[in-house]
Structure 1
């Protein structure tokens, strides 16, 4: 797996988590700019999926494909579902949903690195 891309995903997720956490503390709902931040995270996740597909197709790394792609697909689903939920829920809890979602993606990214290294 391309380590700088994985670190970028984790850094973006943690930055967005900090921003959403600030909104939780301030008792504010998610704003559109945060959802755009989620879209940036999603775009990088799609790019990472393409890179993983190419690397796995070339056979450079022998990993469990079902486990790897289970994590990749889960990451790709979590952010849009959280964004839709946060958009529909216009209370403080929308910020909590976004915070939990991006922290989940950051931890899934760590797990992807572990799977790839095994």
Structure 2
């Protein structure tokens, strides 16, 4: 796996989580700019999935494919579901949902790094 890309994903997720936490403290709902931030993270996740697929097809790394792709697919699903939920829920709790989703993707990314290194 391309480690700088993985660290970029984790950093973007943590930045999005901090932004959402600020809105939680301020008792505000998610704004469209935050959802666009989530879309940027999702784009980087898609790029990472393509890179992982190419590296795995070339056979450069021997990892458990089911475990690896389980994490990749889960990452790709979490933010869009959270964004839809946050868009529908126009209260402070939408910011909580986005915060939890961003932290979840960040931790899944760190777990992907561990799986790849094993």
TM-based fold match above 0.5: yes
Q: Which residue of 2 aligns with 1:52?
A: 52
Alpha-carbon offset, residue 2 of structure 1: 0.1
Alignment of 1:36-47 (within 5 A): 36-47=36-47
Q: Which residue of 2 aligns with 1:21?
A: 21
Aligned length: 118
Q: Which residue of 1 aligns with 2:103?
A: 103
CA distance in 1 between counterparts of 2:86 and 2:72 reads 22
RMSD across aligned positions (CA): 0.2
Please identify runs of 4+ aligned residues in structure 1 that moved more than 3 A. none
Q: Please give the TM-score of this superposition, normalised by the length of structure 2.
A: 1.00
Q: Which residue of 2 aligns with 1:35?
A: 35
Alpha-carbon offset, residue 87 of structure 1: 0.1
Alpha-carbon offset, residue 109 of structure 1: 0.2
- Give the 3-state SS of the residue equivalent to 1:13 in structure 2: helix
Structure 2 residues not aligned, in runs of 5+? none
Structure 1 residues not aligned, in runs of 5+? none
